[in-house]
Amino acid sequence: MSLSVLILAAGQGSRMKSQHPKVLHPIGNIPMIYHLITLAKNVKANRILAVVGSTSNRITDSIKAFTEVEIVKQSKQLGTAHAVLCAKKHFVENHEDLLILYGDSPLISKSSIKELRRLRENGADLAVLGFNSKNPKNYGRLILNADGELEKIVEANDATPEEKAISFCNSGIMIANANLFFSLLNKVSNKNTSKEFYLTDLVSIARKENMLVQATSCPESEAQGVNDRLDLAKAEGSFQSLKRLEVMRNGCTLIDPSTVFFSFDTEIGTDTVVEPNVIFGPGVRIRDNVRIRSFSYLEKCLVKRNAVVGPFARIRPETILEEGVKVGNFVEIKKSTLNKNVKANHLAYIGNASIGEQTNVGAGTIFCNYDGDSKNSIEVGENTFIGSNTSLVAPLKIGDRVIVGAGSTITDDVLQDSLALGRSRQVNKKKN
Catalytic residues: 346
Stretch that binds ligand UD1, among 167-175, 177-185, 268-276, 321-329 (CB under 6 A): 167-175
Residue type, 259: T
Helix (H) or strand (E) holding 240: helix 229-249
Which one-letter DSSP state was computed for residue 186? Answer: T
Q: What is the DSSP letter of 28?
A: T
Smaller CB separation from Mg ion, 174 or 320: 174
Each residue 86-125 as x (binds ligand UD1 by CB under 6 A) or -, in order, gives: ----------------xxxx--------------------
In whole angstroms, give the CA distance from residue 279 to residue 425: 44
Contact segment (CB under 5 A) with Mg ion among 30-38, 45-53, 221-229, 289-297 equals 221-229
Q: Does 363 bind ligand UD1 (CB under 6 A)?
A: no
253 lies in the binding site for Mg ion (CB under 5 A): no
State which amino acid sits at residue 203: V
**Residue among 54, 77, 227, 391 that touches Mg ion (CB under 5 A):** 227
Span from 4-12, 37-45, 210-218, 292-300 in contact with ligand UD1 (CB under 6 A): 4-12
Given the complex with ligand UD1, which of 139 and 280 has the nearer CB atom? 139
Distance CA 324, CA 307 (A): 4
Q: CA 309 to CA 293: how far, in whole Å?
A: 6
Contact segment (CB under 5 A) with Mg ion among 156-164, 192-200, 223-231, 257-265 equals: 223-231
Quick one: which of 341, 323, 347, 324 has its CA closest to 333? Answer: 347
Q: Nearest 5 degrees, angle CA 211-CA 216-CA 219?
A: 155
Question: From Mg ion, ligand UD1, none, which one binds at residue 275 (CB under 5 to 8 Å depending on kind)?
Answer: none
Q: Which of 26, 28, 31, 79 binds ligand UD1 (CB under 6 A)?
A: 79
Per CB under 5 A, the list member of 13, 21, 79, 225 interacting with Mg ion is 225
Q: Please give the residues from 98 up to 137 whose contact with Mg ion meets the rule CB under 5 A.
A: 104
Q: Which of residues 11-50 bind ligand UD1 (CB under 6 A)?
A: 11
Of 103 and 324, CB closest to ligand UD1:
103
Helix or strand or coil: residue 220?
Answer: helix
Q: Which does 51 bind (CB under 5 to 8 A by kind): ligand UD1, Mg ion, none?
A: ligand UD1
Contact 51, 78 (CB under 8 A): no
| First and final C-alpha spacing in the chain | 98
List the Cα angle 361/283/276 in 5-degree steps.
70
Which has the closest alpha carbon to 326: 340, 342, 312? 342
| Backbone CA torsion sign across 32, 34, 35, 36 | positive
Binding site for ligand UD1 (CB under 6 A): 8-11, 51, 74, 77-80, 82-83, 102-105, 139-140, 153, 155, 169-172, 198-200, 225, 227
Site residues, Mg ion (CB under 5 A): 104, 225, 227
